[in-house]
Structure 1
Amino acid sequence: MNFGETIRKIRKDKNFTQKELSEGILTRSHLSQIETNNYYPSYDKFFLLLNRLNVIFEEFLFVQNDQKMLFNQQIRSEISEAANLNDTEKLKNLAVTANDLYDKTDNITYYHYMLICKALISYNISHTVNDEMIEFVTPIKEYLFGMDNWYLYELKLFNNIIYALTVEEALLFARTSLKRLGNFQYFLEFRHIEQHIYTNLSTLCLEHRDFQAAKNFAEIAIEKSTKYTLVYEKVCSELNHAIAIINLGEDGNAYEVIRKNMLIIEYLEFDNLHEHFSSFLKKYEIEVDI
């Protein structure tokens, strides 16, 4: 479907007349020419039309692509799902797919996706940061250092490589990312990115046994997950927080929090996630009767 056909389809689907859609933005004749691909509007006019139609740009592309997700968005979503579930086999397949696409297109996005998959696979094997994982994320780290300003893509990249950074590097990047993230607070992806940054920072600090920092980041992560009703993320954040609390000697009800959340993971059959946190508990010699 071409540009004009897409505008026309969305307009008709939403029962707008040409007069209703064009009024105050451009002339009706110009809109008619747009829909027949004889005229292309300026960017500001185009986004005003989308705004009146209550359609975001990503949705416009989805319709234009005959309601098929653009493949780079699809593979990104699949990587995120596999990472959340610690699905190593799926990550291996996605790494091969991303590498093949990078060879064919020379698109750096697919190169980054391939590196992220390999880094996550390496992490899942030992559930600890290792030299191989750090090697995979180094090109991404160099890419981020080379950016004068970050956009959503760079913020998501940072989120995906936090585990393989030193605490000092992560905090340096975090200051940049969280400051920049505020500019995108009205984007739909903002909530997940913001919450995940704090959860991942708490995990990184646990890895480096900086339990006070892990506790602090986990508390913010819990607050964000509660605010945005992110249930899966809240479970992970509460487990990180409880592990940090126990290691700080501030037990409280931390053991009960671990028991409750491990039961939730088990009930939901998130087997890989259960294995991940079981390994974490073993690493810190935390025994909980589940």
Structure 2
Amino acid sequence: MKFGETIKKIRRDKNLTQAQLSEGIMARNHLSQVENNNYFPSYDKFFLLIDRLNVNFEEFLYIQNHQKILFTGKIHSQISQAASLKNNEQLYSLADEANNLYEQTGNISYYHYMLICRALIAYNTDLTINQDIIEFMSPIKDYLFKMENWYLYELKLFNNIIYSLTLEEALLFSRTSLKRLETNKPFLEFQHIKQCIYTNLSTLCLEHGNFQAAKNFSKRAIKEAKKFSLIYEMVCSKLNYAIACIKLGEKGNACEVIEKNMSILEYLELDNLYKHFSIFLKKLEITLDAT
């Protein structure tokens, strides 16, 4: 579907006349030329048009592409899902798919996605950062270091590689990422990434034995998850918070929180994630029966 056809389709679906859509934005006959693909408006006029149609740019592209999600966005969401569920089989498949697409198109995002998949597979084996992971993530770190400013893509990359960074690198990067996120508060996707960054930072701090920082980051993650009703993220963040409290000698009801949220993972049949936290608890020498 061409640009003008998409504008025309949405306008008709919304029961708007050309006069209603064009009023105050452009002459009606100019809109007619747009819809017939004879004229492309300036970007400010274009965004005024889609704003009046009550669709955002991503939705406009989705409609224009015959309601198909652009593949770069699709593969990223699939990787995020596979990573959350610790699904190595799916990660293997996505790594091959991303690598093939990189060879075909030369698009660096596919190269990054392939590296992320391979690093996640290596990490999921025993939850240990090894040399393979560091090598996989090195090109992405170099890419991020060269960026003067980060956009949504760079924020997503950072969120995906946090676990492979040193604590110092992660904290350095986090200052850049969280500052950028604060300037994009109105956008839901940025808000979701902010919560994930806090959760992943808390996990990294647990890995490195910085339990106070882990407690602080997971507390912020819980706050963000509550704000946007992110149930899955809430469970992971509460587990990290309780683990940090136990390691700081602040048990309170931490053991009950861990047992409750592990039961939730088990009830939801999130077997890989349940196994992940079971291994993590053992790694940090937390035995609930003995506490």
CA distance in 1, matches of 2:108, 2:7: 31
Residue 234 (structure 2) pairs with residue 230 (structure 1): no
Give the deviation of 1:182 after TM superposition: 1.4
Give the deviation of 1:191 after TM superposition: 1.8
- What secondary structure is seen at the aligned counterpart in 2 of 1:189? helix
CA distance in 2, matches of 1:92, 1:192: 26
Counterpart in the other structure of 2:54 = 54
Aligned length: 289
- What secondary structure is seen at the aligned counterpart in 1 of 2:86? coil
Counterpart in the other structure of 1:34 = 34
Counterpart in the other structure of 1:24 = 24
CA distance in 1, matches of 2:41, 2:182: 30
CA distance in 1, matches of 2:155, 2:283: 30
Counterpart in the other structure of 2:124 = 124
Counterpart in the other structure of 1:274 = 274
Give the deviation of 1:286 after TM superposition: 1.2
Quick one: which amino acid aligns to residue 198 of structure 1?
Answer: Y
Give the deviation of 1:185 after TM superposition: 1.2
Residue 99 (structure 2) pairs with residue 99 (structure 1): yes
1:84-233 → structure 2 map (5 Å cutoff): 84-233=84-233
CA offsets, 1:55-76, max 9 Å, x none? Answer: 0101001000001111111111
> Which range is displaced more, 121-130 or 275-284?
121-130
Aligned alpha-carbon RMSD (Å): 0.7
Give the deviation of 1:257 after TM superposition: 0.3
CA distance in 2, matches of 1:187, 1:146: 25
CA offsets, 1:205-246, max 9 Å, x none? Answer: 011111111111111111111111111001000101111111
CA distance in 2, matches of 1:155, 1:251: 34
The answer to whether the Cα contact below 8 Å between 2:218 and 2:241 also exists between their aligned partners in 1 is yes
Counterpart in the other structure of 1:71 = 71
CA distance in 2, matches of 1:187, 1:103: 33
CA offsets, 1:97-118, max 9 Å, x none? Answer: 0000000000001011111111
Quick one: which amino acid aligns to residue 118 of structure 1?
Answer: R
CA distance in 1, matches of 2:136, 2:184: 28
CA distance in 2, matches of 1:17, 1:182: 39
- What secondary structure is seen at the aligned counterpart in 2 of 1:144? helix
CA offsets, 1:20-44, max 9 Å, x none? Answer: 0000000100000000000000000
Give the deviation of 1:157 after TM superposition: 0.5
State the TM-score, normalizing by the size of structure 1: 0.98
Residue 1 (structure 2) pairs with residue 5 (structure 1): no
Give the deviation of 1:188 after TM superposition: 2.1
- What secondary structure is seen at the aligned counterpart in 2 of 1:82? helix
Give the deviation of 1:131 after TM superposition: 1.4
Give the deviation of 1:128 after TM superposition: 1.9
CA distance in 1, matches of 2:198, 2:131: 24
Consecutive unaligned residues in structure 2, runs of 5 or more:
none
- What secondary structure is seen at the aligned counterpart in 2 of 1:47? helix
Give the deviation of 1:288 after TM superposition: 2.4
Quick one: which amino acid aligns to residue 193 of structure 2?
Answer: I
- What secondary structure is seen at the aligned counterpart in 2 of 1:204? helix
CA distance in 2, matches of 1:243, 1:37: 59
Quick one: which amino acid aligns to residue 99 of structure 1?
Answer: N
> Which range is displaced more, 177-186 or 101-110?
177-186
The answer to whether the Cα contact below 8 Å between 2:265 and 2:271 also exists between their aligned partners in 1 is yes
State the TM-score, normalizing by the size of structure 2: 0.98
Consecutive unaligned residues in structure 1, runs of 5 or more:
none
Stretches of 4+ moved more than 2 A in 1? none
